[in-house]
């Protein structure tokens, strides 16, 4: 098989398919990315991927190329894993890479084969690609297209690929779905739910899943706003409603909100598609979900300014975390970096630390100052902002930190530090959606 597009999704998928016993060619048009992958090196940080890649390359069943001719010659099954970012000029998804990939591959498909779309696309895209394949592939209607959305999370990509909680396939003909079932046989034999649906439903499942997750996070962040207005505690509230099995505690982590390369752009792309389909009102609520989410970033900036006695100019702000979430070096739409940038714009001297994302952050936000060690970031700080909940930060000793900073004031914007420990070490600790923790303890 081939995997076309070797980003987060494709690189993991290619290596994972090889460990299932398939003979895999991974293709990417980015030569530098392929140059790394052939050496078993990954262009991004993903726990477990280096090991999986090494294991797969060692079997001889995984290789990489930039040649579509080689991919077309090799593949009986072609997975489409290219990116669909947000367009710079609108909320809609940019499908250039998807159409370019199919445009390059189709004229080379001379034998019957299965094309499997995994990229996140607006509903209706697969149907257009199906026509494009039929019209331009020499093998014509012997080129089948199915849609197989991917639900992997960064940080857990290897596990989510090899042990998914479900596999969904959209197909015109159940026989095409059966061909894909054969590819995933070792996973399906473990009893993984296998859902065969139509093409449109398969594309919608992915958009709906991401929209639901984003809504759940924004719901609890809206509750955080109410907690702030009333003195209630959003963490206790989330625990209490989360015990209801119909609600569930997962994804009720209130704080700085969601970012990354998927949830924000998929939410906006979904709304844009609803407008094109002339049902904008169906997803109008997602605009609130987006607004609530972005408000948390502004609110965190306000709290930080308050902790700086209303005057950020010239003050040293230590930022712990740059990645959009822990266990990732991805800084796309990172809430942490947005907060850091906003404080920089207000005249603060912002020093950022992250265990993995510093190189990416340095490249895209050169205006900020960076420290390779969290202790260097906080030395002399007037406020410490905990913006991405890496385990490394929970392991820091608040007593030691209190001895390094100029003023022991901190904001835990992810509600994950051990508050009693920090308070006992003399910190004035604030959190989002929670009463002033220091006041609580003193009371």
Instruction: Find the binder of ligand UDX among 122, 255, 355, 408 (CB under 6 A).
Output: 255
Q: Closer to ligand UDX by CB, 113 or 415: give it.
A: 415
Instruction: Find the binder of ligand UDX among 68, 79, 270, 324 (CB under 6 A).
Output: 324
Distance (Å, whole) CA 288 – CA 307: 28
For helices 199-230 and 285-307, the axis angle rounded to 10 degrees is: 40
**Residue 263 in the binding site for ligand UDX (CB under 6 A):** yes
Q: Closer to ligand UDX by CB, 179 or 338: give it.
A: 338
**Residue 151 in the binding site for ligand UDX (CB under 6 A):** yes
Hunting for tokens 């005057």 — which residue is that?
A: 311
Q: How near is the Cβ of 408 to ligand UDX at its closest, in Å?
A: 26
Q: Closer to ligand UDX by CB, 84 or 210: give it.
A: 210
**Residue 329 in the binding site for ligand UDX (CB under 6 A):** no
Q: How near is the Cβ of 214 to ligand UDX at its closest, in Å?
A: 8
Task: Tell me how crowded residue 245 is: count the other CB atoms within 10 A of its CB.
Answer: 7
Residue 8 structure tokens: 């987060």
Count of residues near ligand UDX by CB under 6 A? 20
**Region binding ligand UDX by CB under 6 A among candidate stretches 29-37, 50-58, 148-156, 224-232:** 148-156
Distance (Å, whole) CA 172 – CA 175: 9
CA–CA–CA angle 122, 124, 128 (5° rounding):
115
Distance (Å, whole) CA 384 – CA 381: 7
138: alpha, beta or left? (left if phi > 0; alpha if psi -120 to 50): alpha
Strand order in the sheet with 428-431: 369-370, 349-353, 316-320, 383-386, 409-412, 428-431
Q: Closer to ligand UDX by CB, 58 or 240: give it.
A: 240
In order, the DSSP letters of 87-117 are: -TTSSSB--HHHHHHHHHHGGG--S-EEEEE
Q: In terms of C-beta density within 10 A (0-12 exposed, 13-18 middle, 19 or more buried), how is residue 153 classed?
A: middle
**Residue 258 in the binding site for ligand UDX (CB under 6 A):** yes
Q: How near is the Cβ of 397 to ligand UDX at its closest, in Å?
A: 24
**Residue 253 in the binding site for ligand UDX (CB under 6 A):** yes
Residue 13 structure tokens: 């998928």
**Residue 143 in the binding site for ligand UDX (CB under 6 A):** no
Of residues 356-385, those binding ligand UDX (CB under 6 A): none
Q: Closer to ligand UDX by CB, 264 or 398: give it.
A: 264
**Region binding ligand UDX by CB under 6 A among candidate stretches 90-98, 131-139, 252-260, 351-359:** 252-260
Q: How near is the Cβ of 217 to ligand UDX at its closest, in Å?
A: 4
Active-site residue flag, 81: no
Closest CA to 242 of 223, 263, 262, 227: 223
Q: Closer to ligand UDX by CB, 244 or 373: give it.
A: 244
The values of phi and psi at residue 276, to 5°, are -60, -35
Catalytic residue among 6, 113, 227, 262: 262
Closest CA to 87 of 96, 99, 78: 96
Q: How near is the Cβ of 324 to ligand UDX at its closest, in Å?
A: 5
Q: Closer to ligand UDX by CB, 130 or 216: give it.
A: 216
Task: Give catalytic residues, as residue numbers.
Answer: 262
Binding footprint of ligand UDX on the chain (CB under 6 A): 150-154, 210, 213, 217, 251-253, 255, 257-260, 262-263, 324-325
């Amino acid at each position: 098989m081939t995997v076309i597009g070797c980003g987060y999704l494709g690189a993991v998928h290619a290596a994972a398919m090889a460990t299932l016993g398939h003979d895999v060619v991974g293709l990417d048009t980015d030569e530098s990315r392929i140059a790394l992958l052939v050496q078993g090196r990954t262009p991004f940080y993903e726990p477990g991927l280096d090991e999986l890649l090494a294991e797969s390359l060692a079997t001889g069943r995984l290789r990489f190329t930039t040649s579509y001719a080689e991919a077309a010659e090799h593949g009986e099954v072609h997975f489409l894993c290219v990116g669909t970012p947000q367009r710079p000029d609108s909320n809609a998804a940019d499908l250039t890479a998807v159409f370019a990939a199919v445009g390059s591959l189709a004229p080379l498909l001379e034998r019957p084969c299965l094309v499997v779309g995994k990229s996140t696309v607006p509903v209706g895209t697969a149907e257009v690609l199906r026509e494009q394949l039929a019209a331009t592939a020499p093998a014509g209607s012997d080129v089948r297209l199915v849609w197989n959305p991917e639900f992997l999370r960064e940080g857990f990509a290897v596990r989510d690929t090899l042990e998914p909680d479900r596999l969904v396939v959209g197909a015109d003909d159940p026989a095409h779905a059966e061909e894909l079932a054969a590819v995933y046989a070792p996973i399906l034999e473990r009893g993984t739910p296998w859902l065969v649906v139509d093409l449109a439903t398969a594309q919608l499942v992915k958009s709906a899943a991401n929209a639901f997750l984003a809504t759940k996070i924004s719901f609890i962040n809206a509750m955080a706003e109410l907690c702030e207005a009333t003195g209630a505690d959003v963490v206790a509230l989330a625990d209490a409603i989360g015990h209801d099995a119909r609600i569930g505690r997962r994804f009720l982590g209130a704080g700085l909100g969601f970012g990354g390369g998927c949830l924000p752009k998929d939410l906006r792309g979904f709304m844009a598609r609803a407008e094109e389909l002339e049902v904008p009102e169906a997803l109008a609520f997602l605009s609130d979900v987006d607004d609530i989410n972005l408000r948390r970033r502004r609110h965190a900036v306000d709290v930080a300014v308050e902790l700086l006695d209303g005057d950020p100019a010239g003050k040293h702000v230590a930022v712990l975390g740059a990645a959009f979430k822990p266990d990732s070096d991805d800084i796309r739409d990172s809430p942490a970096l947005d907060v850091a940038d906003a404080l920089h714009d207000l005249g603060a001297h912002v020093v950022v630390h992250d265990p993995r994302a510093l190189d990416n952050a340095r490249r895209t936000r050169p205006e900020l100052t960076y420290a390779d060690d969290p202790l260097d970031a906080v030395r002399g700080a007037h406020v410490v902002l905990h913006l991405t909940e890496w385990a490394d930060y929970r392991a820091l000793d608040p007593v030691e930190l209190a001895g390094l900073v100029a003023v022991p004031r901190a904001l835990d914007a992810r509600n994950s530090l051990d508050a009693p420990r920090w308070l006992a070490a003399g910190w004035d600790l604030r959190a989002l959606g929670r009463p002033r923790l220091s006041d609580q303890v003193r009371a």
